[in-house]
Amino acid sequence: MSVVNGILRVGRLIRPSTTLARCLLPATGASQSAWATIGQVHQQPQRSWLSAHRTLSTKVAEEGYHTIIRDQEKAVGTSDKHEFQAETRMLLDIVARSLYSDKEVFVRELVSNASDALEKFRFLVQTSTGAASDGEAGEFAEADRSLEIHIGTNKQDRQLTIQDTGIGMTRDELVANLGTIARSGSKQFMEQLKESGRGTQENVQNIIGQFGVGFYSAFMVADRVDVYTRSSRVGAPGLKWSSDGSGTFEIQEAENVAIGTKIVIHLKADCREFADEDRIREVIRRYSNFVGSPIFLNGKQANQIQPIWLMEPKQVTPEQHNEFYRFVGNTFDTPRFTLHYKTDVPLSIRALLYFPEGKPGLFEMSRDADGGVALYTRKVLIQSKTENLLPKWLRFLKGVVDSEDIPLNLSRELLQNSALIRKLRTALTNRTLRFLHDRSQKEPESYDKFYKDYGLFLKEGIVTSQEQQEKEEIAKLLRFETSKEPNRTVSLPEYCQRQAEGQKDIYYLAAPNRTLAEASPYYESLKKRGIEVLFCYEAYDELVLMQLGMYLGKNLVSVEKEMRRADASTDGKDADGLIEGSLLKTQIDELLPWLKDKLTGKVSNVKTTGKLDTHPCVVTVEEMAAARHFIKTQSHNISEENRYALLQPQFEINPKHPIIKKLHKLTSSDPELAELLAKQLFSNAMVGAGLVDDPRMLLTSMNDLLQKVLDKH
């Protein structure tokens, strides 16, 4: 019934001295201009009502107001008093006090129940044959009525009203559904349809209720709840159900009850916020914006956004995607990529995921940041930010996942079946990875921009993932420069495709930039052999590759580890086992123990290497990436002596380098200068390896060496 017709009906009954606006205000919520018009109507003489009616009709229609809520119901006759059973009374107390974490969800639950009532009626009308032989189909009163949900707020009387035009309830159904906690009328309805063979997936998929406790969430905020209902069956009487939640309820017949169900919640004093229109609009927008029927709040539609994730992907326009992305992401940019898909295997999933256009902020980079994907079941919000729905490293995604297969606890707030949730998480993660890989192949330039902004999240995924297969799927998306091509990045699959025949490993080198990478002593040997090396410019890249460990059956090996291998000292040796142009064996045998003595407490071993050409020496440790990470994060908590004991560095010298040859001579001609030189060479090698947290600490020893050299001249 429209606002105007309601005004006319009430207007004919009230005395001229009564303020019309005051009578109707709780039921409409029209604007001040509309109320001014109502005031003018009230001042008109009786013969002017028709003209005023037209004026008011135009005004209200222009503003889009429409409500069916009227305070016209009247209980008649004697009431039947019923008591909840003892265990039911206890369950009611649990529902009202403990089951839900946020009081506002009672609105979601009651709207969901109203939506179910509409869907049941819609289904029965569509499948009814007009015969009442099965007790389900039969004649319906006002079968062509609009199926809507109306909510009215009344701050003055602390009331919230939720009314639907759905299937309604008979007395038996009222006792059964509202007199027994955890008995779901919706669940029973679906079971009956399945037994009769009429309940296909398609025609019951909009039924939401599962557990029969949502209605009782109203007692979290209510002193008393009144329910007016009238079954949609022809000739069914109107009924009133009332309870204060203390353990009893009353049922009696009522007059002037509209078909459907109307719930009047008399709010507690400390819950008066739920009689505020803006507060209820916010709750509707958050939880129930996508239910299948229109929701009117004080006469104006409150759910505006279409659930486009349930549409066919090809039917959704870019403009719809942009609008929906801004809605779910609470942002003003547009999506970079859109992943819209549905599947029924291994789970029923309807997903719409957006990759943001903008760069991630500092908060999004933090692992404490919540994910941006909301979880829905049949268009009703379950959790706006759902943990474990996607792995943490995908927290930059925004969007919606709707799955009918997700089991929920009674309050719809906590996910129960961890095995199914893991399956859903795996399915979503794998689909996202396939999508990104597809973008990297079809839109390489767009993907490269995405990787520049969000590559860190992918690397986090490799470090945090527990499954090697998932790590390797993420690894397909990584990009690195290599020793062969400057200013161009390649993927690991591309690197593997162009490997030399017989190469069993994937080599990588960590350096701040390309210049230092190409000048690294660790790279010299591989460069001479023409082996391509991945250059890792970010500080955490080598940790990522170390965690990855293997790709397509090939080990990922740092160039430092390659140098440390047992056969490192065999390169370049002549027939006598000496490196051409190097110190004699006797000289090496003298120099190595001397160096180990002078570097006592710093090195675990000193040896020669044939893998150096232009550099005099290097330092190697067992796991260079882990060692560098330790130096950056923990070195300030440990003494220098203990640091070397943990690192166990190996000092490797190039016996053919002029500096090393000169060092051997100085050991006998100027032992003091030789010791300063040896320590400086070791310090330089530690800096080159990235194992010194603050190179300024070396200035003192460097100045001592320079002073000693200058004293000789």
pLDDT at 78 (0 to 100):
87
Confidence of residue 89 (pLDDT cuts 50, 70, 90): low
pLDDT the model gives residue 130: 41
Contact 155, 272 (CB under 8 A): yes
212 marked as part of a ligand binding site: yes
Q: Is the pLDDT of residue 62 over 60?
A: no
Q: Residue-wise over 287-321: b if at least 16 C-beta within 10 A, else e? A: bbbbbbbbbbbbbbebbeeebbbbeeeeebeeeeb
pLDDT (mean) for 114-121: 88
Find the range with the poorest average confidence among 222-226, 301-305, 367-371, 471-475.
367-371
Domains and their CATH numbers in the chain: 90-126+140-301 (3.30.565.10), 308-428 (3.30.230.80), 440-564 (3.40.50.11260), 585-711 (1.20.120.790)
Between the alpha carbon of residue 544 and those of residues 368, 455, 487, the distances in Å are 20, 12, 22
How do 300-301 and 605-608 pair as beta strands?
unpaired
Q: How many residues does the chain have?
A: 713
Per DSSP, the chain holds a count of helices (H) and strands (E) of: 26, 24
> Residue 210, annotated ligand binder?
yes
pLDDT at 251 over 50: yes
Is 261 one of the annotated binding-site residues? Answer: yes
- As a whole number of angstroms, the distance between CA 11 and CA 70 comes to 13
- Average pLDDT, stretch 304-325? 90
Query: Cα separation of 595 and 587, whole Å?
Result: 12
Q: Is 113 annotated as a binding residue?
A: yes
pLDDT grade, residue 262 (50/70/90)? Answer: very high
Q: Please give the full DSSP string across 539-563, using - where no structure is assigned.
A: TTHHHHHHHH-EETTEEEEEHHHHH
Nearest Cα neighbor of 554 from 485, 502, 517, 509 is 502
Give residue-wise pLDDT tens across range 224-248: 999 999 999 888 999 999 998 887 8
Lowest mean pLDDT among 77-86, 295-304, 658-667: 77-86
Task: For residue 220, say whether it is annotated as part of any ligand binding site.
Answer: no
Has 422 been labeled as part of a binding site?
no
Tell me the average pLDDT of the chain. 80
Q: Where in 369-504 does DSSP place strands (E)?
A: 372-377, 380-383, 398-402, 480-482, 489-490
The answer to whether the CB of 49 falls within 8 A of the CB of 8 is yes
Q: Which residues contact 459 (CB under 8 A, 6 or more apart)?
A: 478, 540, 541, 544
Instruction: Tell me how many degrees the CA angle 290-293-299 measures, rounded to the nearest 5.
Output: 100
Using one digit for the tens of pLDDT, what is the confidence trace for 412-428? Answer: 555 555 777 888 899 99
Q: Is 686 among the annotated ligand-binding positions?
A: no
The answer to whether 529 is a known ligand-binding residue is no
142 is in an annotated binding site: no
Average pLDDT over residues 492-505: 91
Judge whether 270 is annotated as a binding position. Answer: no
Q: Has 109 been labeled as part of a binding site?
A: yes
Position 398 pLDDT exceeds 80 = yes
> Would you tell me the crossing angle of helices 418-442 and 444-464 to the nearest 10 degrees?
150
